[in-house]
Amino acid sequence: MMNLKKILLYLIVPFLIISCWPKDFEETGVIVINNGLVNDVQMRFFRNSIPSGPEIVSKTGKGEIFRGEDTSTVVVINQILQADSIVLIFDNERAETHFLHTVVPVGHSLFNNDSYKHDGNTSTYTIDAKNYNNAIPCDGPCN
């Protein structure tokens, strides 16, 4: 009977410690997306072709366009972005679409961890001329 108590004690105590672990001790991952262009840039977020997350954020000129964070044991970019596709619209004339599952555009996707510069727990993506050049002209204003 004593061995059963010890076994239960060894199983229950670690479980209680883990389940009561405060969120403050978990790492917070931060995603920052900067506009590196002088152009007006809009970001539109979609999940299953339906607007999701912040829906539309925009920035005219250089600077931060989006900041998001998540506190979890594993920080995943698409969880913070709350989307499976994102459309970047430049000056309401050109559009570039980023897709979660196809990692398009290749080598510079908002959903690809390698496209970000990492500094501690902050990952930064900068929208640049490569994005603008990949963007397709809209037939009239981009909506």
Residue 30 lies inside a defined structural domain of this protein: no
Residue 120 lies inside a defined structural domain of this protein: yes
Round to whole Å and give the CA distance between 62 and 38: 6
Determine the pLDDT at residue 108. Answer: 85
pLDDT in tens, 83-104: 888 899 999 999 999 988 776 6
Which domain range does residue 43 map to? 37-136
Determine the pLDDT at residue 11. Answer: 61
Sheet holding 50-60, edge to edge: 50-60, 40-47, 85-90, 94-99, 136-137
How many structural domains compose the chain? Answer: 1
pLDDT confidence tier of residue 23, bands split at 50, 70 and 90: very low
Residue 16 lies inside a defined structural domain of this protein: no
**CA distances from residue 85 to 1, 2, 46, 61 in whole angstroms, order as listed:** 58, 57, 5, 23
Q: Can you tell me whether residue 17 is helix, strand or coil? A: helix
Residue 41 lies inside a defined structural domain of this protein: yes
Residue 116 lies inside a defined structural domain of this protein: yes
pLDDT in tens, 123-132: 899 999 999 9
Residue 143 lies inside a defined structural domain of this protein: no
- Mean pLDDT across the chain: 80
Residue 32 lies inside a defined structural domain of this protein: no
Smallest CA-to-CA distance from 39 within 132, 126, 124 is with 132
Residue 72 lies inside a defined structural domain of this protein: yes
